[in-house]
Structure 1
Amino acid sequence: MTNTYVAVDIGASSGRLMLGQLRNGKLHLQEMHRFKNGFVKEAGHDRWQIDKLIHEIFIGLEKIKQAGFSQITLGIDTWAVDYVLVGNNGQKLQNPISYRDDRTQNSIAKLTSDLPKDYIYKKTGIQFLDFNTLYQLFEEDKELLAQTSKIMMIPDYIGYVLTGQAVTEVTNASTTQMLSLREGLFDHDLLKKVNVRSEQFPKLVDAGTVLGPLKANWYQQYDLPQTTVITVATHDTASAVIGTPGIGQHWAYLSSGTWSLLGCELNVPENGEQAYQENYTNEWGAYGTYRFLKNIMGLWIIQNVQKELPQAYSFAELAALAEKQLPFQQFIDVNNPRFKNPRGGMIKELQNYCSQTNQKVPQTPGEIAMAVYSNLSLYYAHELAILGDIVGHRWDSLNIVGGGANVKLMNQLTASLAQVEVYAGPSEATAIGNLVVQMITQKDLANVQAARQLISKSFVIKRFLPQTDVETHQLSNYQKFLQEVQV
């Protein structure tokens, strides 16, 4: 009998249930349900509608049952850093606040006034982003924290609601910037600084831990398949890295979605001075690895551009319009905090940036899209060089997964700028990584190496070669520009 696996994969703008089965030596995927996600303003903050997300999961599970699948295993991955506060009665105290809320705007400076940044980095190896859980808890309502029995990351909370079992999965927990690299536990000094206790976090578990069956009451409310929940690599980037084919001896990855995460897989963390100065992070990966990477603003920028344009364009249409424009007509620091959640709109913010830096201001949809794609490619090439400097070798390849793997223009620009072979695909790496961890747990796959061989066999991986080195001078000019604007 063929085992049936389901990935619940929820991002900042949408979620879906993907069904996976091994058939004839290949992994076959089927999207069973898709739904929208997004934060709304509620009680003074941008918040996630967590109950709606859980309801959508049950709708998806009913569809799976109706499609004839009576027994499945289920894994859950979502974005990182956000959390749910659960009271003594086992119920959430409020809807979770989004990391894009502005409550943590100045929190790094406030918290590090007496706990120096280098001290925190040595402890945790995690990059400084103002939305890390550490700074969110620093700004959290102290009365609510006093009423809190459990602090749970988003996918752990969803698993808790489904099964009644509470855990803290380490790939996501590491993004809190509160786990000690040395001890593998929550750091006492950092917890004390934000007025929380270690016992408020459920026990730490590794990816591949069986959480258990759905609670009986859910079968009374919904027509569901018999479901066993497995705690996978619950941070979506951790799942995406597991779902990367890993082509080449020295390969880097770019998980290209709402965020772009560029990095490599390490067996030992790298939290030295250069990594600290460049703000690289050592997030924990599945199976004893570390995701050494840099957060880049990513497709969030073009997603917002698409929403704001007066005429409806698909992403493919925007990319086609961009291809008709010349690249590199302006340099943009895509990681500037002003693009995190611009109140006046992303297009206006991009145009203001170009105007304020005395550059050509993009006007048409094609010009705006090319400005975004060409500058993302520049930033990827820039960071790939820095990553190589830190770990001490050049790259055989860059493996691009996620939605950005479908943007041929950006893949080719990145290959030429970085002078590296680019392998693009699969676009569904996050869901695939979720599924293969379940398969390893259930002994359908031996290990990660076997999983990556399966991925390479099962999905189309496109190859982009550096065309010429004529664009490398653009990278040099861009790097000078970044130095100047930071000064």
Structure 2
Amino acid sequence: MAHIAVDIGASSGRLVVGEIKSGKLVIEEIHRFANGFVEKNGTCYWDINHLLHEIVKGLAEAKKQGYQSVTVGVDTWAVDYVLVDENGNRLQEVVAYRDSRTDGTIEKVSQHIDKKEIYQKTGVQFLSFNTLYQLYEEDKELLQKAKHILLVPDYLGYCLTGRAVTEVTNASTMQMLNVKTRDFDQDLLNLLSLKRSQFPPFAEPGEELGPLLAERFPDVDLPECRVMTVASHDTASAIAGTPGQGENWAYLSSGTWSLLGIESADPVVSELSLEDNYTNEWGVFGTYRFLKNIMGMWIMQEVRRHLPVDFTFAEFVDEARNVEHFRQFVDLNDDRFLNPSNMVKEIQAYCQETNQPVPETAGELAACVYDNLAIIYAMAIRGLETMTGQAIDRLHIVGGGANNALLNQLTADMSGKTVYAGPFEATAVGNIMMQMIASGDIGSLEEGRELIRHSFPLQSFVPKEQQAAKRIEQFDQHRKGEKV
């Protein structure tokens, strides 16, 4: 049987079909579409109807290509939600996490429940757009009318099948689940005046959600579809699709965001992990993704958007190879880079304010971003080793950012770890793998990862840089406002 991953990110979505042929997992993209939030009356929204339309359109394309019977799994980004009334109707447009409504909300919430207590309960890092803070700012009348509060992939699954669930890997990003009880924390629900019943029952990755209700789409010729609950947070799918083996490896899921961490049997909740803002998100088969959330290729997407000449991402890499590196040290995790009106000007302003050379050309801007991401990655790995007591000797970079050989090498240089890049389509691969496990095509996560290693080439990068410690020290001094 063929399996279709519906993989939707912040800037695009696609449907990818996967099958085992001659002992290898073979994937093919069959439909791609644009995504992005739009601003209306000062609020940023997703077009959720557009996403559902494109999913159905992609499934119709699968039927045209001869796929009569398939399984389907949906993954998207995290934290954003949909309010649904008792009749199954959506109560409002879906607000995007980069909206400014939660600016300062962490401080508001911490006046009711101390940040340390929230972290001890949830083990989740403090990000201004976490669902906890979005719901705190939500219209209280709308919240009371909501029968279901569904994260985006769960809502799309609900539209396809009529069944409402709360998939655990995505739900864990909300900063509302208690790591001890593995359920919604009652104190946080009370703070929001919400009931546990407004969140549908949990579903684990690898469960069958139900058949697609073709009668809801009478004008479309669709294949017979069994919808599966996969790791619906795209990062959780990407980590499931990471070909790590044994121990002492870390992952970097490199896309719009960079998620760097380890797969752990237990959460890591400590004073140090709180101080350094590491998070414990739930993974497949009861694991935890202990990781650091880092600004990723979003920075370059925005740099590209605001340059007068359009560069491809490959051209940015070529331009960056021809300029001097490590001329600027910029903390790209600063909130000022979350959604500035002009990313180029924001980077340049940061450099001016910190008395550093101002990057002007495309190559200088790209080098600035790549250099500092590599440093931030290296510091995050060092943090992982300190907090877990586990030595890391190799880093698997997966996702679209793994195509960037220059950044891969810089990351190896700064971290001192051997980097393995690939597969580039790890999210779709992990999505498909969980469908295969649910369908009985493969028996376990380990078997799935062995299949991935056998099916996709990996490129290795060995550390070469001799001044990594100096670069990291310079970065840290700038971040702390010290004179270099």
* TM-score (norm: length of structure 1): 0.98
Q: Give the Cα separation in 2 of the matches to 1:335 and 1:174.
A: 22
Match of 1:424 among 407, 421, 424: 421
Contact 2:205 2:231 in 1 (8 A): yes
**Aligned-residue offset at 1:248:** 5.6
Q: Give the Cα separation in 1 of the matches to 2:390 and 2:186.
A: 36
Map 1:12-23 onto structure 2 (within 5 A): 12-23=10-21
Match of 1:311 among 309, 312, 316: 309
Letter in 2 for 1:319: V
Q: Give the Cα separation in 2 of the matches to 1:311 and 1:459.
A: 35
Map 1:131-210 onto structure 2 (within 5 A): 131-210=129-208
Q: Give the Cα separation in 2 of the matches to 1:183 and 1:319.
A: 46
Q: Give the Cα separation in 1 of the matches to 2:436 and 2:69.
A: 15
Q: Give the Cα separation in 2 of the matches to 1:408 and 1:182.
A: 41
Q: Give the Cα separation in 2 of the matches to 1:70 and 1:96.
A: 33
Q: Give the Cα separation in 2 of the matches to 1:4 and 1:66.
A: 14
Indicate yes or no: 2:436 matched with 1:439: yes
**Aligned-residue offset at 1:247:** 4.4
Paired residue for 2:115? Answer: 117
Q: CA deviation digits over 1:243-282, x for unaligned, max 9?
A: 1011463001100000000100000101111111111100
The 3-state SS of whatever aligns with 1:151 is: strand
Q: CA deviation digits over 1:385-411, x for unaligned, max 9?
A: 111100112211011001110101110
Paired residue for 1:384? Answer: 381
Q: Give the Cα separation in 1 of the matches to 2:257 and 2:465.
A: 28
**Aligned-residue offset at 1:146:** 1.5
Indicate yes or no: 2:49 matched with 1:51: yes
Letter in 1 for 2:469: T
Distance 1:100 1:178, change over 3 A: same
Q: Give the Cα separation in 2 of the matches to 1:374 and 1:211.
A: 43
Paired residue for 2:63? Answer: 65
Letter in 1 for 2:452: I
Which consecutive unaligned segments of at least 5 residues does structure 2 have?
none
Paired residue for 1:289? Answer: 287
Letter in 1 for 2:343: M
The 3-state SS of whatever aligns with 2:173 is: helix
Paired residue for 2:6? Answer: 8
Q: Give the Cα separation in 1 of the matches to 2:444 and 2:466.
A: 39
Paired residue for 2:447? Answer: 450
Paired residue for 1:475? Answer: 472
Contact 1:78 1:155 in 2 (8 A): yes
Letter in 1 for 2:286: G
Which consecutive unaligned segments of at least 5 residues does structure 1 have?
none
Q: Give the Cα separation in 2 of the matches to 1:21 and 1:43.
A: 45
Indicate yes or no: 2:385 matched with 1:366: no
Distance 1:92 1:313, change over 3 A: same
Q: Give the Cα separation in 1 of the matches to 2:324 and 2:13.
A: 35
Contact 2:214 2:222 in 1 (8 A): no
Map 1:328-339 onto structure 2 (within 5 A): 328-339=326-337
**Aligned-residue offset at 1:472:** 3.1
Contact 1:62 1:223 in 2 (8 A): yes
The 3-state SS of whatever aligns with 1:166 is: coil
**Aligned-residue offset at 1:43:** 4.7
Q: CA deviation digits over 1:352-408, x for unaligned, max 9?
A: 010011000000111111111111111111111111100112211011001110101
Map 1:222-233 onto structure 2 (within 5 A): 222-233=220-231
The 3-state SS of whatever aligns with 2:268 is: coil
Contact 1:416 1:472 in 2 (8 A): no
Give the percent of matched residue pairs that are identical in Structure 1 and Structure 2.
51
Letter in 2 for 1:413: L
Contact 2:354 2:478 in 1 (8 A): no
* Corresponding pairs, count: 483
Contact 1:330 1:360 in 2 (8 A): yes
The 3-state SS of whatever aligns with 1:484 is: coil
Contact 1:106 1:130 in 2 (8 A): yes
Paired residue for 1:274? Answer: 272
Q: CA deviation digits over 1:57-84, x for unaligned, max 9?
A: 1110111000011000000000000000
Q: Give the Cα separation in 2 of the matches to 1:149 and 1:43.
A: 27
Letter in 2 for 1:318: F
**Aligned-residue offset at 1:219:** 4.9
Distance 1:164 1:443, change over 3 A: same
Q: Give the Cα separation in 2 of the matches to 1:49 and 1:485.
A: 44
Letter in 2 for 1:116: D
Q: Give the Cα separation in 2 of the matches to 1:316 and 1:186.
A: 43
**Aligned-residue offset at 1:171:** 0.3
Paired residue for 2:22? Answer: 24
Q: Give the Cα separation in 1 of the matches to 2:385 and 2:71.
A: 39
The 3-state SS of whatever aligns with 2:150 is: strand
Q: Give the Cα separation in 2 of the matches to 1:430 and 1:283.
A: 16
Match of 2:398 among 396, 401, 404: 401
What's the C-alpha RMSD, in Å, of the aligned pairs?
A: 1.2
Q: Give the Cα separation in 1 of the matches to 2:478 and 2:444.
A: 44
Letter in 1 for 2:173: T
Q: Give the Cα separation in 1 of the matches to 2:36 and 2:65.
A: 28
Paired residue for 1:83? Answer: 81
**Aligned-residue offset at 1:158:** 0.1
Greater shift in the superposed pair: 462-471 or 381-390: 462-471
Paired residue for 1:42? Answer: 40
